[in-house]
Amino acid sequence: MYSLTVRDHVMIAHSLPRAAFGPAQGLHGATFVVELTVRARELDENATVMDIGALSGVLGEALEGLRYQNLDEHPAFEGKLSTTEAVARHLAEDVAGRLTGAGAGGAGAGAGGTAAGGTADRLVGLSVVLREHPDAWAGYSLDLP
């Protein structure tokens, strides 16, 4: 299995209003380093999983909806805790939609039609990891249709 990973970051605000979260119950800011990995069984005609710039563009588009937002007020997290794990899942599902042409990104969204040229058909899965700091991170993985 081949993989390609790109990285970006996003600054958000949120609260985690349950006793289990201690001081994080109150409104606070977080800067997540976000790593997106896509997987393919075979390489394309250029011997790559996909274009790095195109994948970076897809990740950037997915992050735009979260940048500098208070997740307590974000529609995607209404009635839900915006834990690192939950944010990772939200991003993974958003990116999957953008790569497959279903969901938030629409058909072939991102960096000049990322899903074009058979890329989406070759990808078999993706993972998103959010690093809160160098010693703690969480992630979410899914298979692509």
Task: Give the model confidence (pLDDT) of 30-42 as tens digits.
Answer: 999 999 999 999 9
**What's the rounded Cα separation, in Å, for the pair 115 and 123?**
10
In this predicted model, what pLDDT tens digit does every residue of 50-102 receive, in sequence order? 999 999 999 999 999 999 999 999 999 999 999 999 999 999 999 999 999 86
CATH of the domain at 28: 3.30.479.10
3 state DSSP class of 40 = strand
In this predicted model, what pLDDT tens digit does every residue of 127-140 receive, in sequence order? 999 999 999 999 99
Q: CA 107, 111, 115, 120 torsion: positive or negative? A: negative
Angle formed at CA 47 by CA 55 and CA 127, multiple of 5 degrees: 35
| pLDDT reported for residue 121 | 84
Q: What is the pTM of this model?
A: 0.88
**What's the rounded Cα separation, in Å, for the pair 108 and 101?**
5
pLDDT of 109 strictly over 50: no
Place of tokens 């070759």: 122
* Structural domain count, the chain: 1
Place of tokens 């074009």: 116
Looking at the chain, how many residues does it have? 145
**What's the rounded Cα separation, in Å, for the pair 104 and 17?**
28
| pLDDT reported for residue 40 | 97
| pLDDT reported for residue 118 | 62
| Domain of 92, in residue numbers | 2-143
